[in-house]
Structures are given as structure tokens and as C-alpha cells.
Amino acid sequence: MKFSDLVHLVADEPVFETGLLLAGDVDAINLRRQLSRWTRNGRLIQFRRGLYALAPPWQKRRPHPFLVANRLAPGSYVSRHSALAHFQAIPEFVPEITSCAGGRPRLYHTPLGRFSFRHLKADRRFGYRRVALGDNQHALLAEPEKALLDLVYFVPDGDNPAYLKELRLDYDVLNLDRLKVFADESRSPKLIRTATQLQKLAAKVPAYEVL
């Protein structure tokens, strides 16, 4: 395969997988050698084995980090700090893309940044939806309330009021009734306590102090 053929084939894809190129009479070993060579000479960006994007100037659409996160771990959804920051429920910039997945915990260092995945059992992977990211790209993101509960779940003593205050949550973004529904659905005593604590904290914040 020539590089021009690859560009023609995947030009409209922000990211692509090796499997897309293996249809028909293709020498898989030679193809993988070509992909490795094009990665080394800067024509391709590799996120993990088998997952690539065209590099500029051949790249038509820069892949959104959330889309890359979904593709790095199929079945995962962006959550915790990343989803909270996306929905402006917390004021901090988050340099690492954080997701929840069904597999083992993983950490990827890529040219687009760092991506971390934490394991959640199947019965706790809910409360997320497909979100438009612009440039005809979409990704699965936790609702802000579920992202907060996912964060608390993984932080020791995350239900402590002092920790919850440190997050500087924007209660205008969060639906505390929905958060309670998600907490009850999780059947986690820690998350149920969190929902109760947040109701109390939100009640103490004057309207002019809400960020």
C-alpha cells in the first residue's frame, strides 16, 4: 500500500484501526511494517497498537481527545474529572483524560496526552450518553452527576464533606435529584452518603457564592 492510498482511504476518519485496512487480499505483516515506518517518519500518530490517526498536514480533522479515549478502550466512557470539567461542574483544567471501563485499569501516554481508565463493574456503568464534540465527532460521556459519583467512588474518603468542598462544585450545573437517583441505583453506601452530603452542602451555599 502506498501512503497516498492510505490517505485516500482514511482521510475522513479522525482515527482509524488497522482492521479497516486488512479487508481483501492484504499482506498483514507488510502492512504493519508500513504503518510502523509511517509512524516513525511522522506521517501517522499512533495511540496504541492498531489505533492511528493521520498526522498534519494530511490530517483533515484533528481527533478530539474524548473520541480517542472511547476508541482506546471500546465500551468505555469519559468520566470523573474530564467529564466534570467538560460540563463546567468544576473550575479546573484537567490535563489527563479520565474514563471508566470494564477492563483492567490502564494508562496510555500518547502524542495527544495521557489517558487513564479505571475499572467499573457492569452494573455500575450507567448514566452516560453520546455527546457531540464538534467537527462531526461524538463520544460517550458520563452525565455530570454520574461523573462526580464515579470520582468519589475511586477516591478514599471521597464522601468526606471537606473533600467535596475542595472540588468547588458548580451546583447550577448539577442536578442533585438526578445524582441521588444515580447514587441509589449504584447501591453503594458511600455514594448514597455522598448524595446526602451534597444536598446539605448545596443548601448552605448562598446563591451569590455559587460559581
Q: What is the mean pLDDT of each run of 10 residues along the chain (211 residues)?
A: 93 93 82 95 96 96 97 97 97 92 96 96 96 96 98 97 96 97 97 97 70 44
Residue 199's pLDDT is: 95
The per-residue pLDDT for 108 is 97
Contact 23, 79 (CB under 8 A): no
Q: Given this model, what pLDDT does residue 204 score?
A: 82
Which of 63, 157, 68, 80 lies closest to 114, judged by CA? Answer: 68
pLDDT value of residue 207: 56
| DSSP result, 115-183 | EEEEE--GGG--SEEEEEEETTEEEEEE-HHHHHHHHHHHSTTTT-HHHHHHTT--TTT--HHHHHHHH
